Every structure is written in C-alpha cells, then in structure tokens.
C-alpha cells in the first residue's frame, strides 16, 4: 500500500512513508492538489517527482539515515573488535562507542529530532563537527585557495580530507585527555576510542557511497563522485536490511569459532580483518558502485523515479 504508482494528467507522485515533501506540478513547481482518484489521509505522505530540470533535490536521493548508519557500524565494528579484544569487554565497548560516535560526526546537516527523542544525543554529537571541525576545514581550504561558498555543505565532511580533519581533532583531544588522566586511568582505554572514531568515519563514507546521493571523496580538490544504487527512503529496497543481517551473521560466526576454540588465537585478528573487508566488498558489489564527475549532473534534468505497481 505504501508503494503504488498513480498518474493524472498533471501530476506524478509516489508514496513516501517518511514525511511530506514539496509537491511538484509538471511545468510549474509548487503546492498542487492530488488527483481525485488518489487515496488521501494523514497516513499517506505523497511525494511528487517530475521531469522538470529543477525537480532533482536532495529529498529524491538521500544518504543513509541515522538508524542505518548505527546498525551497520555496530555489526561491522564487532567483527574486528571481537578478534582484537577477546578478553576485554570494556575495551570492546569503548571501541563500539567510538565507532558509533565517528559514524555520526559527518552528518552536519542533521536536524533536531522532532518526534524521535531517542536520536537527540546523535544530534548533539553532530554539533561537535559543526562548531569545531567545519570552521577548521574552511580555514584550511581558504588558505589553500579552495574557498568554500557554503560552510554547511555536506561534502565538507563526506570526503577523505574532511574525515582526516575530524579524526585529527578527535585525536588531539584524546592526547590531551591522556596527558591529564594518565596517572589515574589506563591510556589504552583513551587510545581505543579515537581508533573507533576513525573506523566509524571510514564506515560512514563507505555506507554513503552505496546510496544514490553518493559522496565526493576528494572535495573540494576534485569533483569525482562515487555513488551506488540504494535509496534508503525506499522501503521496497531491502538491501540495507540484508547487509545488516549478513554483518550480524558474520560477527556471530566469528565469535562462535573463537569461543569454540576452532580459531587459533594467532590468526584471530587477521580472520576478523578479512571478514570485515569481505563485508565491505559485499556492500559495494551489491550496491552497483560507480564513479563519475558530479559537475556533469549540475542543473541537469533527471528522469522521474518510476515505481512498479
């Protein structure tokens, strides 16, 4: 019921269960009245997609949303984490906390959750990047004569240079914390956290590269764009759920082999690393990853999103 295709003489739209968006009338954007034969009601949020040149917006092709990022990063972190810290549950928890923090930091355009208050801590994590990391990035790029017109551009933090800046700032804070707490706290507990943050940042880029929106890995020095075929807002696309199940199964198998004594401890970390890389490879393979130049798509007309009935 949520994914059906309706047509009228003037409108073309699809259902999107994640909220309302701007309605478009063919030839003239703006608010429009739905076709008379279309179902109505507060439970039916309708989204119009047209062939007009300016109808292609970020609402059409979204990056992964917060719950997808967190689910995937927890599973992906467990695989090498179990092998790296099999006898220290606290270090494993710190690594997972760091990766969950890192996977949230690039989302500088995240809005304050209006209904799901459980995501409010995630929004506060993103404010660290907005308040501290983005000004550092824009200052560095300006010094390198690569000025940024919009400091809220998500490409700033969804790129390799941006990730390195965020990781460097987190590492600097960790070093200061180690210097302050060294007599009273094991430095390993503080060092593992930034390692988890770096892992989360890398996984964020890898996950967003699987979506239609994609990432610009070398922004602002290059316009190369990496994008896949996943639409996170599309409930008909079950690939993200399949990735989560696959990663969870892989973590369970790795943990089971180790606990059963079938996996030599000398090979445990390499086995976990191999399983982690295989999970990323599977995501890239089934997401139809491609590389192109984003400047080719600037202002271009995009075909309407056709949804089979």
How confident is the model over 253-297, as pLDDT tens digits? 888 888 887 878 777 778 888 889 989 998 999 998 889 887 665
The reply to whether 39 and 118 lie within a common domain is: no
Same domain, 46 and 94: no
User: Does residue 36 sit within a domain?
Assistant: yes
Range of the domain at 216: 66-297
pLDDT of residue 62: 52
Distance CA 128, CA 244 (A): 28
Q: Is residue 308 part of a domain?
A: no
Distance of alpha carbon 121 from alpha carbon 293, whole angstroms:
35
- pLDDT at position 63: 56
Domain check: are 278 and 142 in the same one? yes
Could you tell me if 141 and 103 lie in one domain?
Answer: yes
User: How many domains are there within the chain?
Assistant: 2
Return the pLDDT at 303: 40
Q: How many CA atoms lie within 13 A of 72 on its CB side?
A: 29
pLDDT at 217: 92
The string of DSSP codes covering the chain is --S-EEE-SS-EEEE-TT-----EETTEES--PPPTTS--STT--EEE---SGGG--TTTS----HHHHHHHHHHHHHHHHHHH-TT-HHHHHHHHHHHHHHHHTT-TTPPPPSS-GGGHHHHHHHHHIIIIIHHHHHHHHHHTT---S-TT-GGGTSSHHHHHHHHHHHHHHHHHHHHHHTTTS-HHHHHHHHHHHHHHHHHHHHHHTTBSS-B-TTTTT--EEEE-SB-TT-TT--HHHHHHHHHHHHHHHHHHHHHTT-S-GGGHHHHHHHHHHHHHHHHHHHTT-EEEEGGGGTT----------
Furthest CA-CA distance within the chain: 74
**The predicted structure's pLDDT at residue 114:** 73
What pLDDT does 273 receive?
86
- 309 lies in some domain: no
User: Is 288 inside a domain boundary?
Assistant: yes
Walk along the chain (309 residues) and give the pLDDT tens digit of each residue. Answer: 444 343 333 334 343 433 333 444 444 444 444 444 444 444 444 443 333 333 334 444 455 678 888 989 999 999 888 888 888 889 999 999 999 999 999 988 888 877 777 778 888 999 999 999 999 998 888 888 777 767 778 889 999 999 999 999 999 988 888 788 777 677 787 889 999 999 999 999 999 999 998 999 998 888 899 999 988 877 788 888 889 899 999 889 888 888 887 878 777 778 888 889 989 998 999 998 889 887 665 544 344 333 333
Indicate if 47 and 161 belong to the same structural domain. Answer: no
């Amino acid at each position: 019921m949520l994914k059906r295709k309706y047509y009228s003489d003037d409108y073309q739209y699809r259902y999107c269960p994640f909220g309302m968006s701007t309605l478009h009338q063919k030839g003239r954007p703006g608010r429009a009245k739905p076709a008379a034969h279309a179902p109505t009601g507060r439970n039916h949020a309708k989204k119009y997609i047209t062939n007009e040149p300016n109808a292609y917006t970020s609402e059409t092709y979204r990056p992964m949303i917060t719950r997808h990022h967190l689910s995937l990063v927890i599973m992906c972190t467990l695989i090498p984490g179990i092998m790296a810290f099999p006898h220290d549950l606290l270090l494993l928890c710190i690594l997972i906390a760091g990766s969950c923090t890192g996977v949230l930091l690039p989302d500088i355009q995240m809005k304050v959750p209006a209904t799901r208050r459980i995501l409010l801590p995630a929004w506060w994590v993103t404010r660290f990047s907005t308040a501290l990391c983005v000004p550092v990035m824009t200052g560095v790029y300006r010094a390198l004569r690569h000025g940024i017109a919009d400091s809220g551009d998500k490409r700033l933090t969804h790129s390799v240079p941006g990730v390195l800046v965020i990781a460097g700032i987190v590492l600097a804070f960790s070093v200061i914390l180690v210097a302050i707490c060294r007599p009273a706290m094991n430095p390993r507990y503080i060092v593992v956290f930034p390692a988890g943050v770096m892992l989360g940042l890398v996984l964020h880029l890898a996950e967003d590269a699987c979506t239609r929106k994609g990432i610009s890995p070398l922004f602002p020095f290059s316009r190369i764009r990496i994008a896949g075929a996943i639409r996170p807002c599309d409930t008909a696309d079950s690939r993200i759920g399949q990735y989560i199940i696959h990663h969870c199964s892989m973590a369970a198998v790795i943990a089971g082999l180790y606990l059963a004594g079938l996996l030599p401890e000398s090979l445990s970390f390499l086995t976990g690393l191999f399983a982690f890389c295989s999970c990323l490879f599977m995501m890239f393979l089934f997401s139809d990853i491609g590389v192109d130049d984003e400047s080719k798509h600037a202002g271009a007309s995009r075909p309407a999103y056709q949804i089979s009935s």
